């Protein structure tokens, strides 16, 4: 009885803390929205006074703060055919539009045909830069970050997607559709390696089948098309940068450490989990294996599939087959990518899905960029501000921190305890420092461990999202364009700080005192990447807080 009472009391306290955190987040988001709405409202009044013509209906929508709940219905466009280019298809899907069943099926079938025509392990001779992308696991926000960072694939910037497109995240359909359509749009510059989740048995055991049913209804036959595409995917790429050779595959080498020529003869199989022929083992090992720190090759007891390969064995293989490194994915890395020296070379792990799994974790995401000289650079980001992550309180807290991060970076630089972090955040973002310390920051650190994790929270704000690019947050809005055009007075395509403050000054002269705009605080919210100017897509994001 005593025990039950104390348990209930503890649960009650947790619930109270959760409610307090929810209320605090609602207050923060509402105040941000009101500030942005006031700017747009002020611009309307000012433009009217100037006799400037624009789409008033759209602007009116934007100047009314949205409801406190940030969830927005997914845009669904079920009726179009793939009458547009693959590039246009990719652009639409990256912006969050779900492909129609017909389009998705078309992309799966055409993609599968194209992939099947390629060798199972192919060699790429690269003279310029090449990007290697790790696990994406249904995270469209992270794929957006990858593409913003990489830009359009070309001879100068090729890209390898190293598997695990589906399961664990909400957007497996979108990610798989985009990756395949990119392959179709740029067949010589985009390369796909299969991951262990691209498997006819696994896609039914994990989330992909359920995702398809939820998005396309129970009668869908898309899973069969997807299985064909999974089976068609190559297993590895050899990247030749002059004398420097890199092996890229999802898991690790097979236990028999076969030569490259033997690897090139690996079969294509529908499921490495469900099938048991001898030659399936090679494929299963490539897709499922991990490195480990012991000296024998053994069965992968952590995953019940594949094997565990010691670095000494990898080193011998690198030397024998004349490679300088193995790049693999398959395992989460806290910082998105990590390198381990091994005899005769190095082993890289790259993971491109932040907050894995299901947007619960604190890991960053990264891609590897191999430059023209064959040197490896890590590019990191964090897609914690993804729209669809906002259902979870932790993601909303991350979103708020992210929006203010240009000022938070400086404010947090000297902090050395959770109390100092909370105080600094409260000064920039608002809300009581105690609320941050006891309710909001603990959401980011799995409950009670906030004190131990304060440095991770601080580091979270210092990731290097490419300065000029941000993932688009929503479909293009005419109202956002109208606001941008009002602000960009010199028409050079960016709104500079000076232009913004001129506009704020002009607005503040025509609105009543209680509606005057605090330029600094609104600028901080709009300049998402903190580079001192607003791009069109950046403003669009800022207006949709």
Catalytic residues: 197
# residues near Mn ion by CB under 5 A: 4
The token pair at 342 is 């091994």
Distance, in Å, from the CA atom of 419 to the CA atom of 309, rounded to the nearest integer, reads: 44
Q: How far is the CB of 505 from Mn ion (least distance, A)?
A: 54
| Residues 300-339 close enough to bind Mn ion by CB under 5 A | 330
Of residues 99 and 195, the one with the C-beta less far from Mn ion: 195
Q: How far is the CB of 145 from Mn ion (least distance, A)?
A: 19
The token pair at 222 is 């898309």
| Residue (of 380, 348, 349) closest to 367 by Cα position | 380
| Residue (of 526, 542, 530) closest to 477 by Cα position | 542
Question: CB under 5 A: which stretch of 47-55, 112-120, 195-203, 352-360 binds Mn ion?
Answer: 195-203
Q: How far is the CB of 197 from Mn ion (least distance, A)?
A: 6
The token pair at 28 is 């923060």
The token pair at 232 is 């068609």
Q: How far is the CB of 202 from Mn ion (least distance, A)?
A: 10
Question: CB under 5 A: which stretch of 48-56, 192-200, 229-237, 391-399 binds Mn ion?
Answer: 192-200
Based on the shown chain and the rule CB under 5 A, indicate whether residue 137 belongs to the binding site for Mn ion. Answer: no
Question: CB under 5 A: which stretch of 115-123, 159-167, 471-479, 482-490 binds Mn ion?
Answer: 159-167
Of residues 144 and 162, the one with the C-beta less far from Mn ion: 162
Of residues 136 and 487, the one with the C-beta less far from Mn ion: 136
Q: Edge to edge, what strands does the sheet with 345-350 contain?
A: 121-125, 236-241, 244-249, 325-328, 345-350, 337-342
| Residues 265-294 close enough to bind Mn ion by CB under 5 A | none
371-377: long-range contacts, CB 8 A cutoff, minimum separation 24: 371/129, 372/127, 372/128, 372/129, 372/241, 373/241, 374/241, 374/242, 374/243, 374/244, 374/246, 374/324, 376/325, 376/327, 376/339, 376/348
Question: CB under 5 A: which stretch of 101-109, 188-196, 215-223, 443-451 binds Mn ion?
Answer: 188-196
Q: Measured at CB, which residue is nearest to Mn ion?
A: 330
Of residues 253 and 479, the one with the C-beta less far from Mn ion: 253
Q: How far is the CB of 422 from Mn ion (least distance, A)?
A: 37
Q: How far is the CB of 444 from Mn ion (least distance, A)?
A: 26
Of residues 186 and 288, the one with the C-beta less far from Mn ion: 288
Contact residue for Mn ion among 92, 103, 164, 285 (CB under 5 A): 164
Q: DSSP readout, 420-451?
A: HHHHHHHHHH-S-HHHIIIIIHHHHTTTTTHH
Based on the shown chain and the rule CB under 5 A, indicate whether residue 426 belongs to the binding site for Mn ion. Answer: no
| Direct distance between the N- and C-terminal alpha carbons of the chain, in angstroms, rounded to an integer | 47
Handedness of CA 279, 233, 191, 161 (dihedral sign): negative
User: Mask of contacts with Mn ion, 51-80, x by CB under 5 A?
Assistant: ------------------------------
Handedness of CA 350, 355, 360, 361 (dihedral sign): positive
Which positions lie near Mn ion, rule CB under 5 A?
A: 164, 195-196, 330
């Amino acid at each position: 009885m005593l025990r039950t009472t104390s348990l209930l009391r503890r649960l009650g306290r947790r619930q109270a803390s959760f409610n307090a955190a929810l209320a605090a987040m609602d207050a923060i988001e509402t105040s941000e929205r009101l500030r942005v709405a006031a700017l747009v409202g002020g611009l309307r009044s000012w433009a009217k006074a100037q006799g400037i013509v624009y789409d008033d209906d759209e602007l009116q929508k934007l100047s009314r703060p949205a409801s406190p709940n940030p969830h927005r219905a997914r845009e669904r466009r079920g009726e179009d055919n793939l009458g547009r280019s693959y590039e246009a298809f990719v652009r639409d899907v990256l912006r969050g539009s779900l492909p129609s069943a017909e389009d998705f099926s078309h992309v799966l079938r055409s993609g599968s045909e194209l992939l099947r025509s390629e060798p199972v392990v192919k060699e790429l001779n690269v003279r310029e830069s090449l990007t290697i992308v790790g696990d994406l696991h249904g995270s469209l926000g992270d794929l957006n970050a990858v593409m913003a960072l990489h830009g359009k694939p070309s001879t100068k910037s090729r890209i390898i997607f190293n598997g695990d497109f589906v399961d664990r995240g909400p957007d497996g359909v979108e990610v798989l559709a985009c990756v395949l359509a990119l392959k179709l749009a740029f067949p010589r510059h985009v390369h796909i390696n299969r991951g262990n989740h691209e498997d006819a048995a696994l896609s039914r055991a994990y989330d992909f089948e359920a995702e398809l049913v939820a998005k396309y209804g129970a009668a869908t036959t898309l899973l069969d098309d997807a299985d064909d595409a999974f089976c068609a995917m190559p297993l590895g790429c050899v990247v030749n940068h002059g004398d420097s050779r890199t092996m890229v595959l999802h898991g690790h080498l097979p236990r028999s450490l076969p030569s490259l020529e033997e690897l090139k003869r690996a079969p294509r199989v529908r499921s490495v989990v469900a099938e048991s022929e001898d030659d399936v083992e090679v494929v299963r090992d490539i897709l499922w294996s991990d490195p480990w720190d012991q000296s024998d090759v053994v069965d992968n007891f952590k995953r019940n599939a594949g094997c565990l390969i010691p670095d000494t064995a990898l080193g011998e293989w690198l030397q024998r087959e004349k490679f300088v490194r193995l790049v693999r994915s398959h395992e989460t890395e806290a910082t998105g990518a990590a390198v381990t020296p091994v005899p005769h070379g190095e082993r890289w792990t790259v993971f491109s899905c932040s907050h894995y799994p299901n947007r619960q974790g604190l890991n960053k995401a990264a891609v590897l960029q191999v430059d023209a000289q064959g040197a490896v650079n890590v590019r990191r980001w964090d897609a914690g501000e993804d729209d669809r992550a906002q259902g979870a309180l932790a993601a909303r807290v991350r979103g708020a921190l992210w929006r203010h991060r240009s000022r938070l970076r400086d404010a947090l630089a000297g902090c050395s305890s959770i109390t100092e972090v909370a105080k600094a955040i409260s000064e920039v973002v608002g809300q009581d420092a105690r609320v941050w310390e006891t309710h909001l920051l603990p959401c980011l650190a799995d409950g009670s461990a906030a004190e131990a994790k304060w440095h991770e929270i601080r580091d979270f704000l210092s990731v290097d999202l490419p300065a000029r690019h941000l993932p688009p947050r929503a479909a293009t809005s005419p109202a956002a364009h109208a606001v941008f055009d009002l602000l960009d007075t010199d028409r050079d395509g960016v709104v500079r700080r000076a232009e913004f403050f001129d506009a704020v000054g002009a607005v503040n002269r025509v609105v009543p005192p209680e509606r005057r705009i605090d330029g600094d605080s609104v600028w901080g919210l709009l300049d998402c990447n903190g580079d001192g100017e607003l791009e069109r897509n950046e403003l669009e994001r800022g207006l949709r807080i």
